[in-house]
Chains A and B, each alone.
Chain A
Amino acid sequence: MASNNVPLGRRMVLGAGGVLAAGLTRAAFAQGGPQARVAPITIVINQSPWLDSFRRSVEQYERETDAKVDLDVQPFAGSLEKQRNSVRASRGTADLLVMNSGWFAEMYFGGFVEPIHAIEPGFRLDPEVYTLGDTIYFDADTRTMTPRGRLMALPIAPIVPLTYYRADLYREAGIEGAPLTFAQLEANARRLHRPPRMVGIVQRGARGPHTVAFDFYPYLYGHGGSIFRNQAENDYTVTLNAAEGRTALDYYIRLARECGHPRTAALDQAEVIQNVVTGRAAHMLTVVAAWSQMDDRDRSAVVDKIEFAPTPALPGRPTAPGLGHFVGGVARNIPDDRKRATVQFLAWFQTKDAQIALARHGGMPVHAAAYRDPIAEDRRYRWMKPLAESLRHAVNIYQFPEASEVIAVLELGLNRAIAGEITSVVALNDMARQIHTVMAARGYRTGQAEPLR
Chain B
Amino acid sequence: MWRWATLSPALVLLLALGLLPVLNLVVLGFFDVRWADGRASWSFVGTRHYAALAGDALFGASIANTMLFALGAVAGQMLLGFALALLCSKVTRGRVFWRALFILPVLMPGIVIGAMWKLLLNPDFGAIGQLFELVGLQPVDWLGNARIALFSVVLVDVWHWTPFCFLLFLAGLESLPRDVYEAATVDGADAWQELWHITLPLMWPTIVVTFVFRLVLAFKVFDEVYLLTGGGPGTATEVVSFTIYQRFFTEDRAGYGAAMAVAVIFLIFLMLAAAAAARRRVQAA
Interface centre among B39, B125, B252 (most CB of A within 10 A): B252
Q: Are A266 and B229 in contact (CB under 8 A)?
A: yes
Is A95 interfacial (CB-CB < 8 Å)?
Answer: no
In angstroms, Cα B232 to Cα A206, docked, is: 7
Q: How far is the CB of A19 from chain B (nearest CB, A)?
A: 42
Q: Which B residues are CB-close (under 8 A) to A275? A: 124
Q: Which A residues are CB-close (under 8 A) to B123? A: 263
Is A209 interfacial (CB-CB < 8 Å)?
Answer: yes
Is B234 interfacial (CB-CB < 8 Å)?
Answer: yes
**A408/B250 contact (C-beta < 8 A), A274-B125, A332-B38, A419-B146 known:** yes
Interface residues of B in 232-267 (CB under 8 A from A): 232-236, 246, 249-253
Q: Which B residues are CB-close (under 8 A) to A112? A: 35, 38
In angstroms, Cα B253 to Cα A332, docked, is: 22
A-B contact pairs, 25 of them (CB 8 A): A81-B249, A88-B35, A110-B35, A111-B35, A112-B35, A112-B38, A206-B232, A207-B232, A263-B123, A263-B124, A263-B141, A266-B141, A275-B124, A332-B38, A333-B38, A404-B252, A408-B246, A408-B250, A412-B58, A412-B234, A412-B235, A416-B233, A416-B234, A421-B146, A421-B234
Interface residues of B in 112-127 (CB under 8 A from A): 122-125
Task: Name A107's closest neighbour in chain B (CB-CB).
Answer: B35
Contact with B along A363-385 (1 / 0, CB 8 A): 00000000000000000000000
Contact of A415 among B232, B251, B252 (CB under 8 A): B232
Interface centre among B124, B143, B230, B232 (most CB of A within 10 A): B232
Q: Which A residues are CB-close (under 8 A) to B249? A: 77, 81
**A207/B230 contact (C-beta < 8 A), A106-B252, A404-B250 known:** yes
Is B108 interfacial (CB-CB < 8 Å)?
Answer: no
In angstroms, Cα B123 to Cα A112, docked, is: 44
Task: Name A280's closest neighbour in chain B (CB-CB).
Answer: B124
Q: Are B58 and A268 in contact (CB under 8 A)?
A: no
New A-B pairs, 8, CB < 8 Å, besides A265-B234, A408-B246: A87-B38, A109-B35, A206-B230, A206-B232, A263-B123, A263-B141, A412-B234, A421-B235
Interface of B is mostly: loop
Is B190 interfacial (CB-CB < 8 Å)?
Answer: no
Contact of A266 among B36, B38, B143, B253 (CB under 8 A): B143
In angstroms, Cα B125 to Cα A262, docked, is: 14
Is B231 interfacial (CB-CB < 8 Å)?
Answer: yes
Contact with B along A387-430 (1 / 0, CB 8 A): 00000000000000000110010001001100101000000000
Is B179 interfacial (CB-CB < 8 Å)?
Answer: no
Q: How far is the CB of B46 from chain A (nearest CB, A)?
A: 15
Q: Are A262 and B141 in contact (CB under 8 A)?
A: yes
Contact with A along B126-162 (1 / 0, CB 8 A): 0000000000000001011010000000000000000
Is B191 interfacial (CB-CB < 8 Å)?
Answer: no
Task: Name A140's closest neighbour in chain B (CB-CB).
Answer: B37
Q: Which A residues are CB-close (under 8 A) to B144? A: 263, 265-267
In angstroms, Cα B252 to Cα A275, docked, is: 34
Q: Are B233 and A266 in contact (CB under 8 A)?
A: yes
Q: Which A residues are CB-close (under 8 A) to B231? A: 207
Q: Are A408 and B251 in contact (CB under 8 A)?
A: yes
Q: Are A265 and B232 in contact (CB under 8 A)?
A: yes
